[in-house]
A = this chain, B = another copy of it.
């Protein structure tokens, strides 16, 4: 910059004003500086710039697993939206570990990101998020809300769709409906809502509402967590179908689980939807490709990312979002993986396992 100023025959301050397009600069000087800059292949040091403007023009995004299609798609919405507004995105992956999240938030804050979009790993350990908010930098929660933390969240209103899906199953005659999630809980047993992740709570809540409305009991043994790998999911499916009174329908909490459950079902020789009805939350490309095409609760995932970025952008400009809870709608898409339960499916088939 000093070189540019010298070549243009002006002071550093004037050159800075000319290149930064602020303050008052005469047209002739502006051009002279521009020419000098081009001549010298000048590139601004955004670090220095950020240091005294106090704005880094970067936002931090903290997600559980970028490898998961859900976050990939949301990420796409975030980056595109942020970029259009001149912001860059610093990505941190936590593997759904709170420790990693704590660390990521710290690092991002130290690097002076202007704001944060976070999909918090836990609703219980949130001190670091309170601290982050207390730095004054805006935070937006992605896909999950936090009861105790007063910051905007962008979510999908999934409970109604979960309820609709469950109700449809009940109306088809299902009485034993299982729910499988990757969420890790204290114990393997379901002990009640809310859970550590609101988006999972909402799914379950919708399901329980439907059950309740139909006067059906909630069987804690059909609500299973910790499906974090193909192997654990397989075990869960095994346990479920070795129950004296096995489920006739299964809800999978996301697309990764859906895949593993479907694989486990097939391994056990259980056909969908004849022996087991199947519904997956989340939107994923192959849902309509497989046989049978999957009944799913579709979510506007890309839009979730876009909206999260928009809300953050608004706050970055000093605005206050009209509401703290931004919800997008989910849709139940009925396809071929759900149908009437058949008696044959109610017989446990433990011997079929591979």
Contacts and interface: CB of A to CB of B under 8 A. Distances in A.
Interface of A: 43-48, 50-51, 56, 58, 65-69, 71-73, 75-76, 79-80, 83, 88-93, 106-112, 256, 259, 262-263, 266, 285-286, 288-291, 302
Nearest to A93: B79
Given A45-B110, A290-B289, A290-B290, A92 B66 contact: no
21 contacts: A46-B107, A46-B111, A47-B47, A47-B51, A58-B90, A66-B76, A66-B79, A67-B73, A67-B76, A67-B302, A69-B69, A69-B72, A79-B93, A83-B93, A88-B108, A89-B90, A89-B91, A256-B285, A263-B289, A289-B290, A290-B291
Contacts of A291: 290-291
B56 A66 contact: no
B44 A47 contact: no
Contacts of A288: 263
Q: What copy number does this chain have within its complex? A: 2
Main secondary structure, interface of A, reads helix
Contacts of A44: 110
B58 A67 contact: no
List the 8 closest A-B pairs by CB distance, nearest first. Answer: A72-B72, A286-B286, A67-B76, A46-B111, A46-B110, A79-B93, A91-B91, A290-B290
Nearest to A113: B88
A92 B59 CA distance: 12
Contact of A93 (B46, B80, B111): B80
A129 to B, nearest CB: 15
Given A45-B51, A46-B110, A286-B286, 6 more contacts: A43-B109, A51-B51, A67-B76, A83-B93, A262-B289, A290-B291
Given A72-B66, A75-B67, A88-B92, A259 B289 contact: yes
Nearest to A60: B88
B47 A111 contact: yes
A111 B92 contact: no
A90 B92 contact: no
A310 B75 CA distance: 24
A189 to B, nearest CB: 29
Nearest to A80: B93
B88 A107 contact: yes
Interface-centre pick from A58, A67, A302 (highest chain B CB count, 10 A) = A67
Nearest to A73: B67
A232 to B, nearest CB: 16
Contact of A91 (B90, B107, B259, B285): B90
B51 A48 contact: yes
A256 B108 CA distance: 33
A164 to B, nearest CB: 25
A96 to B, nearest CB: 13
Contacts of A266: 289
A88 B75 contact: no
Contacts of A45: 51, 110, 112
Contacts of A51: 45, 47-48, 51
Contact of A43 (B67, B88, B110): B110
Nearest to A87: B107
